[in-house]
Amino acid sequence: MLRVRATSARVARASGAALFFTLAACSGASRPAPSPEASAAPATTLAPAAPAGPRLYVTNERSGDLSVIDLASKTVVATVPLGKRPRGVRVSPDGTVLYVALSGSPFAPPGVDEKTLPPPDRSADGIGVVDVRALKLLRVMPVGTDPEQLALSKDGRRLFDCLSGLWCSPLGHSHPKVVAAIRKQVDTLDYAPAFQMGHEPAFQLATRIVELAGRPNDRVFFVNSGSEAVDTALKIAVAYHRMRGEASRTRIIGRERGYHGVGLGGISIGGMVANRKMFAPLMIPGVDHLPHTWNPAEMAYSRGQPTWGAHLAEELERLVALHDASTIAAVIIEPMQGSTGVVVPPRGYLERIREICTKHGILLIFDEVITGFGRLGAPFAANYFNVQPDLTTFAKAVNNASVPLGGVIARDDIYQAFMTGPAHAIEFFHGYTYSAHPLAVAAAHATLDVLAEERLIERAAELAPVLEKAVHSLKGEPHVTDIRNLGLAAAIELAPVSGQPGLKAVKVFERALDEGLLVRFGGECLAVAPPFVSTAEEIGSMIEGLRRALRAVPA
């Protein structure tokens, strides 16, 4: 039976599209009991010996068996019982063939002469040219049975998940309470429409989120990803001004180096050159950008917030003078830029941005897709910096990334601005079929339970100085040109390989795999943001592994 709750007239109107701004009126989330995670061992298949040609040798998900993948057809041509756990992955000098090395030796499956495999290339620049496309064929699978729940494995072996997935799994993987909540939910309500109505746990979740954020009167619009959250926030901002009779306020101010997902709004206001170049004709008009705040000459190796750079907020006044405040709807920034390499706001910068927005009636949107739910050791970055935006986007850690979920938190008076039309009309023409999907919502309740019960946001705060001290000890190691950190996040900037942008970080990434570390590379930067359930020892080992990886890559 579909159990949905018809909402009050006011809220039903509010939810005219996709549980719009669910009323924060309910409390008392269900507390699912933990259940042990079941393990699943895939069956071993024997297939004919692989034909010659460029191949990728990887081990099978959880079993550790070796699969031979034909790179041309991208099909698995053989699966061989291995019985041993391979040590690492190597890339051929031509960049097309990856294979598994056992204890440093190339391994060939039956029927393939070991000598026909290229040896690990440790000449010249050390690892050879890495074909990231081939690398993507590696299937990184969570090891749900890992007692410490930190592991991702590409070959059945434990890897320390240095970035908590993609900044999104602070509880580690397959947390039993989250798994149990999803299982229970699918048995009782697998889907509920979010237009003109909402299911009870979604309302409860909205309540919990705004209370956690310290903004108990605010509202939540649920979506399915960070990208959708960003595009939703932009629409709310523009529509809000229109509802209030200021329809000329349509311009959005983003920031260089900003990452706001891959929707057309997100790439337009974002500051990633690759997106802006590739999709230039699709950029929404009326966007301008603040300068980013990273200046290595002034702030290299800053610990936490740099002391230089607050004056860059004045650039907003310049943009207001250029475009006139009457044309500007919103400023959107990540309070801490994550995806482009942990760019930490200078002291006083966010405060000044807030002041300027308030002065000119411009909405301030914090994109907290990475920082939301504890990454800085506070519920949201807004709490950490004590600077409140008008709209906040979130996703990722809200439910430990177990089922897609995101959302926008909006000030109550923004919500109220939409509640002025006829009672039967849709106030905000926007929403997604899967908004507040019951499985995602159940997973979010369980995640918030775990965050509270295990005091994990506090633990992130406690681990932050541990990470800071450890990561800054990499100063002076080969390739390192800057180190930045805030909360439980850090980035290590590397000197680029001449003429080959981005290659250095890929090389260190590969060496880090050998050390049992899954780090994130992007541009010339390595990023780490370990799960909140990490121990201080694991953070120390992570940094020591990175140190060895850095030293193993020749200049």
Residues that bind ligand PLP (CB under 6 A): 225-227, 230, 259-261, 334, 338-339, 367, 369-370, 395
Provide, rounded to whole angstroms, the least separation between the CB of residue 545 and ligand PLP.
24
Provide the minimum distance between the beta carbon of 227 and ligand PLP in the complex, in angstroms, as a whole number.
3
Rounded Cα gap, residues 4 and 294, in angstroms: 48
What is the nearest approach in angstroms of ligand PLP to the Cβ of residue 5? 28
Least distance between ligand PLP and beta carbon 51 (Å): 38
Residue 464 beta carbon to ligand PLP: minimum distance, rounded to whole angstroms: 19
Q: How far apart are CA 104 and CA 380, in angstroms?
A: 44
Measured from the CB atom, the residue of 489 and 505 that comes closer to ligand PLP is: 489
Beta strands 66-70 and 55-59 are antiparallel
CB of 68 to ligand PLP, least distance (A): 32
Using an 8 Å Cβ cutoff, are 540 and 528 in contact?
no
Closer to ligand PLP at the Cβ: 259 or 415?
A: 259
In terms of CB distance, is 101 or 370 closer to ligand PLP? 370
Q: How far is the CB of 165 from ligand PLP (least distance, A)?
A: 10
**Of the two residues 30 and 388, which places its CB atom closer to ligand PLP in the complex?**
388
User: Which DSSP state fits 130?
Assistant: -
In this complex, which beta carbon is closest to ligand PLP, that of residue 219 or of residue 520? 520
List, in sequence order, every beta strand (DSSP E) within 353-460. Answer: 363-367, 391-394, 406-410
CA-based nearest residue to 330, from 265, 231, 234: 234
CA distances from 316 to 171, 312, 325, 364, 456 (A): 38, 8, 10, 12, 36
Please give the residue whose beta carbon sits closest to ligand PLP in the complex: 226
282, two tokens: 């699709």
Give CA angle at 365 (362, 366), nearest 5°.
145
Q: What is the DSSP string of 322-352?
A: HH-GGGEEEEEE-SSB-TTT-BPPPTTHHHH
Nearer to ligand PLP, 395 or 442 (CB): 395
Sole residue written with tokens 């070796």: 66
Q: How far apart are CA 335 and CA 357, in angstroms?
A: 15
At position 278, the amino acid (one-letter code) is M
Is the CB of 192 or the CB of 369 nearer to ligand PLP? 369
Query: Whole-number minimum distance, CB 261 to ligand PLP, in Å?
Result: 3
Nearest by Cα to 400 from 126, 80, 79, 181 = 181
Residue 135: CB minimum distance to ligand PLP, A: 19
* Minimum CB distance to ligand PLP smaller for 299 or for 397: 397
* Least separation in angstroms between CB 404 and ligand PLP: 7
- Which residue lies nearer to ligand PLP by CB, 153 or 225? 225
Angle at 225 (CA atoms; ends 222, 228), nearest 5 degrees = 75
Q: With CA atoms as reference, report the closest residue to 254 among 275, 271, 241, 277.
A: 271
Between β-strands 328-333 and 251-255, what pairing exists: parallel, antiparallel or unpaired?
parallel
Q: 65 or 228, CB closer to ligand PLP?
A: 228
